[in-house]
Every structure is written in structure tokens, then in C-alpha cells.
Amino acid sequence: MGKPTYLDLLRCKNYRTLLSANFINRLGDAIDTLAFTWIVYSFTGEGTWAAILFAVNKIPSVALLPFAGAMVEKLKKKNTMMVCDVIRCVLVLALILVMGAGRLSVPALAAFTFLISVAEAFRIPASTSFLTQLLNREMLDRGVMLNVVITTLVEIGGAAAGGLLISGFGAQAALAADVLSFVLSILLIASIRQEENISTDMKEASSIQVLKDGLIYIRKNVMLLFVIATVVLANGVMSPIDSLLAVVVVDVFHREAGYLSVLKVVLSVGMLLGGISYPALRARIKDEKWYLGAFVYIGLLYFYVAGCGSWLGTFGGSHVVMAGLYFLYGIAASFLAAGLGIQLMENVQQEYMARVSTVYSAIASAAVPAASALAGLFLKKFALTSVFFGAAFVILGLAVVWEVLRGIYVKAPRIEAADS
């Protein structure tokens, strides 16, 4: 028999149901992300708070994800996903009620975003593990790829829908759509019939010991250390421009929520096309060369956006020019994400994959709140254009340093995956 096709994959009822649940869930998340960004900046009127609350949103991913991954291994994945979705649904509904009562405050915004992120920290490893249970080994690669493509596509639609909802009906309407998406996702997941067996050894194993074994493995794998260092740099350089996008739209481009939606849509399209094309591109040119190009482009993008606030004027910030630049930014970001994800798979033995991947995600996420908070602090003393000019030079300098040090790490022998 030949390799299973995508049609064969979609004939699997449980997978098809989970894919539908993920589609709806990600649609709500995309709308929620846009709405929350707009709520924070419109309520505070300060780019500093937008950056700080963006950092607060990422803290649970750094602090909890490694432990959450180990804890979820001991739990039923389907039930864990449903409980996390219920918690997130209740929190977003509570935020709507707080906004309607006129009692919204910065501490309340910080609390809501933190608690929602805590629930997400447990749902992510549960969802990843549950997906692998629904498919046999021959279908797994296509199943994972289709899930990524579908969720990326829905992020595009979610960004567009979020902008329309906010512009036409306000941020509360966008949050209400997010609540509805959680309810539908919960119902779909509940309909999946899948027997989950958790081994006695796993139930009795210490979560701390499982995590410790993963950390020791990482420390001994030189190539894996290089991959982790690169993803930390990537997340760090992208975090400020991502967390301050609403500020850029209002203060630099002097536009409304609709333009924020436009930039997010073209960014998502760029990420989708970049992710699809990257496997073929890396066969021709080494990963590290694509990473360097991405770092340089991101540094130049900071420089250009800063210029739009000074000498470039209206033409520099035109819809067509900025849409094109953010489309290319999406491609650059996807090259970094796809390449580093593939290299992670290539350099981790199968029996360590689950624990190492959660540690990898947590360490990678650590750069996001750090860089975002740092950008927020600089905005307290300097104008946005000055901060972006400074960031551009720092990023380009770090790219040079990374390129010099790269030669040392890439000479290290790779640890082949157990299945290779």
C-alpha cells in the first residue's frame, strides 16, 4: 500500500472532529488576541502598558509549561483539554461582564491575561499528545502538518473577523465570539470517543524527575543548545515589534483597528506561505543562512518602521508598502519557526521528545516577556521611533555576533533521532 493521503486522513472521524475543534478554537483565539491588544491600548493609552501586559501573558508559558507538560502526562488528555477550555471560557465571559460594569482596570487586565495563559499552558501539551493518539504512525506526519496549515489559515480569518467586529461592534463583541468558540470546541471534543491508557510507571513517576532527565539531556546535546539559543534570539527580536503593533498602528501610522487587522492578516499569509515552502528551500540552502537573512530583515524592518515616524512620512507608511513589508516579515518569522522546529526533531531522540519539547518551548518563550517588558521600560523615557531605531542597531549587531559564534556550534556532531 502507498503512503496515506490527506483524504484517508480526513476519513478518520476522531481526527476530523479534533481538527474541527482546533479550527474553531484557533478562530476564537485569533479574535481574542486582536481584541485584547486593542482593549489594553485603548484603555491605558500607553504603549508601555501594552508591552508589559503582553509580557504578563507569556509568563505562564515560561514558568509553568515544563511542569505542565510533565503533569499532563499523568492525566487524561481529552478531559484536560475540556477543563482548560471551560476555564478560559469562564474567564473571558467574566472579562466581558467587568467591562460592561465599567470596572476594568490595569490590575484586572493583568489578572485575566495571566489566568487565561495558565490554562493555555496546560492545554498545549494535552492537545499535542492527544493528536498523536488519534492517528497511526503512517498518518502522523500529514496529520500534524494539516493541523498546522488549518490553524494558520484560520488565524488569517480570525484576524480579519476580529478587526471587523471591533470596528463595527466594539471589543466586547469580539470577546463574545471567543466565548462562543470555546463552547463549540468543548462540545466537539466531548464527542470524541478515544480510549486513553496511562501506564502505571507514568502515574508513579515523579514529574520533577521526568523534567530533570530532560534538562540533563539538553545540557549534553551541543547542537540542541545551539537551536535553543537561536530560538531565544528569534523570539527576543520579534517580541517588541509584535507586542507594540497596536501602538505602531495608532502613533506611527495614525490608523484604526481595521489597519491592525490588515497587518495581522498579511503577516499570517506570509507565515503560511513561508512554512509551506521552507522544507524545499532548506534542501538547497542551509538552515543557518536562512536564519541570518531573517535576523537581518527583522532588524531592517524596525529601522523602516521607525523611519515612518520621522522622515519617511505618509508614503513610507502606506497600506501597500507596509502590507508588503509585514508579508515578508511573516515569511522571515516562519523560516525561523519552521527551521528551528525541524532541527529540534533532527537532534532529539524519540524517547526524549515530549519532555525536551516542553522545555524547549518554555525556554524559547522566556525571551518574549523579557524583551517585551524591556521595550516597555524604554518607552517610559524615549519615543517609540527612538526605541525602534535602537532596537534595529542592536538586532543587526546580534546577528553579526550570532553568525560569528555559529561556526563553533554547527561543527558539533548531531545526535540522530531514534527513528532515523
168 and 218 part of one domain: no
Q: Where a domain ends, among 204, 239, 260? A: 204
211 and 194 part of one domain: no
256 and 190 part of one domain: no
Cβ–Cβ < 8 Å for 332, 242:
no
Cβ–Cβ < 8 Å for 9, 136:
no
Grid coordinates of 277? 515552502
What does the alpha-carbon distance between residue 281 and residue 361 come to, in Å, rounded to a whole number?
24
Dihedral of alpha carbons 327, 149, 231, 282, sign: negative
The 10 Å Cβ neighbour count of residue 6 is 13
80 and 215 part of one domain: no
Buried b (16+ CB within 10 A) or exposed e, 339-353: bbbebbebbbeeebb
Helices (H) and strands (E) in the chain, counts: 18, 0
Q: Is the pLDDT of residue 295 over 90?
A: yes
91 and 59 part of one domain: yes
What does the alpha-carbon distance between residue 50 and residue 55 come to, in Å, rounded to a whole number?
9
Alpha helix ranges (H) inside 106-136: 106-134
- Give the list of residues 6+ apart from residue 320 with CB closer than 8 angstroms, or none: none
**Which pLDDT score, from 0 to 100, does residue 188 have?**
93
What does the alpha-carbon distance between residue 253 and residue 234 come to, in Å, rounded to a whole number?
25
195 and 244 part of one domain: no
pLDDT tens digit string along 121-152? Answer: 888 778 877 777 777 766 765 666 667 667 76
226 and 102 part of one domain: no
The SS3 assignment for 88 reads helix
pLDDT tens digit string along 354-382? Answer: 667 777 877 887 787 788 778 888 888 88
- C-alpha torsion 368→287→325→330, nearest 10: -60
Residue 14: half-sphere exposure toward Cβ, Cα within 13 Å: 12
Q: Where a domain ends, among 151, 182, 204? A: 204
Cβ–Cβ < 8 Å for 296, 332:
no
Grid coordinates of 51? 508591552
Grid coordinates of 149? 496549515
138 and 238 part of one domain: no
CATH number, position 406: 1.20.1250.20
Cβ–Cβ < 8 Å for 41, 109:
no
What does the alpha-carbon distance between residue 41 and residue 256 come to, in Å, rounded to a whole number?
12
What does the alpha-carbon distance between residue 66 and residue 401 come to, in Å, rounded to a whole number?
29
What does the alpha-carbon distance between residue 21 and residue 185 come to, in Å, rounded to a whole number?
5
300 and 226 part of one domain: yes
**Which pLDDT score, from 0 to 100, does residue 94 have?**
92
CA angle (321, 54, 258) in 5-degree steps? 40
Q: What is the count of structural domains for the chain?
A: 2
pLDDT tens digit string along 174-208? Answer: 888 888 989 999 999 999 887 776 656 656 666 67
- Cα-only R_g, the chain: 21
Percent of the chain with pLDDT over 70: 81
pLDDT tens digit string along 327-340? Answer: 999 999 988 887 88
Phi, psi for residue 172 in degrees, rounded to 5 = -65, -35
Domain that holds residue 366: 206-420
pLDDT tens digit string along 376-408? Answer: 888 888 888 888 889 899 999 999 988 888 777
What are the percentages of helix, strand and coil residues in the chain, rounded to 5?
85, 0, 15
What does the alpha-carbon distance between residue 355 and residue 349 come to, in Å, rounded to a whole number?
11
Q: Which residue has the cell 480570525?
A: 158
Q: Where a domain ends, among 204, 222, 248? A: 204
- Give the list of residues 6+ apart from residue 130 with CB closer than 8 angstroms, or none: 18, 77, 78, 81, 194
**Which pLDDT score, from 0 to 100, does residue 291 have?**
93
What does the alpha-carbon distance between residue 95 and residue 176 come to, in Å, rounded to a whole number?
10
179 and 64 part of one domain: yes
217 and 160 part of one domain: no
Specify the pTM: 0.65
**DSSP designation for 382:** S
**Nearest by Cα to 302 from 400, 385, 377:** 385
Grid coordinates of 399? 546577528
**Which pLDDT score, from 0 to 100, does residue 187 have?**
94
Cβ–Cβ < 8 Å for 241, 385:
no
pLDDT tens digit string along 51-74? Answer: 677 667 767 766 777 777 777 777
93 and 219 part of one domain: no
CA angle (293, 295, 300) in 5-degree steps? 95
**Which pLDDT score, from 0 to 100, does residue 101 have?**
83
Q: Is the pLDDT of residue 159 over 50?
A: yes
